Structure 1
Amino acid sequence: MMTMAARSKTAARGPAGAGPTRTPRAPRLATRRAPVHPGYFLDTRFLKPLGITQQALATSLGISRRRVNELIRGHRGITADTAVRLARYFGNEATFWMQLQCDWDLHEAAKRLKF
């Protein structure tokens, strides 16, 4: 015959071998970092690691060095035209570059509107 203490331990474990029962928790929401400007991303994740200069990229893309420089400094955004050129050069998708820009634009709009 089980003692009261033995019964409470068994009840806490649930079915045999199932381990202790736990109250389900609400799922944790992932905290999302603020996005970086796509130009900064281009510079730190592509140009510098690959040893590509702004001038070399501009020449390969068929755009001015000034346009590349303004993008990297955060003074210019990525347009659809630039996204297509970058995608062809780096072998990825234009939507990748446009999504970086969209994330940045939404973040900046929310900051301005204080959401």
Structure 2
Amino acid sequence: MMPAPNTAAFIGGVAAPDQGCRDMLTRCHAGGYSVMVTSTVHRAFEPGKLCHPGRLLGEFVLPQLGLSVSQAARDLGVSRQTLHRIFDESAAVTPVMAMRLEALCGIPAMFWLRLQCAHDLGDARTSLTDVLPLIPKYRLSRMAMRQLGAIDGH
């Protein structure tokens, strides 16, 4: 078994899984880097579906750490059922779980939350396909957007 990779090696895709979130593993960065959370980066097993962080956790991170679901659950202080719900995408990675995962494997909590957010936004975008075009569009000025921090100052 390979030793557990550090965050940079993990994100760099050094030991990317045979299938699944390969694009995400090879193109996302965490820690001192930025995480790209666009729908084109987080492709999962089904075309057009964003990769859920639970799949990444269950199919890549825990095996790389050499942890069983039971051991990971004990170490995280949660039930096996909780982890299985995250793995099967019926539960989200919450801020509390993201902090636990950071403590367990060193991958920053914000990385997990950005993946979850990208997944959730993709689901919302899909479910609102017919509704969003009907909503009137009002826009703040670029200056106001910059003051909010919603866009870069460039």
- After TM superposition, the score normalised by the length of structure 2 is 0.52
Structure 1, residues 35-93: CA drift from partner, whole Å, max 9, x if none?
21111011122012333111111100001111001100111001110000001111121
Amino acid at match of 1:80: P
Task: Quote the Cα distance in structure 1 between the aligned partners of 2:67 and 2:51.
Answer: 20
Query: Which of 90, 101, 121 does residue 106 from structure 1 map onto?
Result: 121
Structure 1, residues 8-55: CA drift from partner, whole Å, max 9, x if none?
xxxxxxxxxxxxxxxxxxxxxx98144211110111220123331111
* Structure 1 partner of 2:70: 55
Change in Cα spacing, 1:84 to 1:113, as seen in structure 2 (3 Å) is same
Amino acid at match of 1:92: I
| Counterpart mapping for 1:25-104 below 5 A | 32=40, 33=43, 34-104=49-119
Identity percentage of aligned residues? 33
Task: Quote the Cα distance in structure 2 between the aligned partners of 1:96 and 1:31.
Answer: 15
Cα RMSD after superposing both structures: 1.8
Amino acid at match of 2:109: A
Q: Kindly indicate which of the two structures has a greater share of residues assigned to helix.
A: 1
Task: Quote the Cα distance in structure 2 between the aligned partners of 1:36 and 1:69.
Answer: 16
- After TM superposition, the score normalised by the length of structure 1 is 0.68
Task: Quote the Cα distance in structure 2 between the aligned partners of 1:51 and 1:109.
Answer: 34
- Number of aligned residue pairs: 86
Task: Quote the Cα distance in structure 2 between the aligned partners of 1:31 and 1:68.
Answer: 25
- Contact kept in structure 1, 2:85 and 2:91, CA below 8 Å: yes
User: Which consecutive segments of 4 or more residues in structure 1 shift more than 6 A?
Assistant: none
- Contact kept in structure 1, 2:95 and 2:113, CA below 8 Å: yes
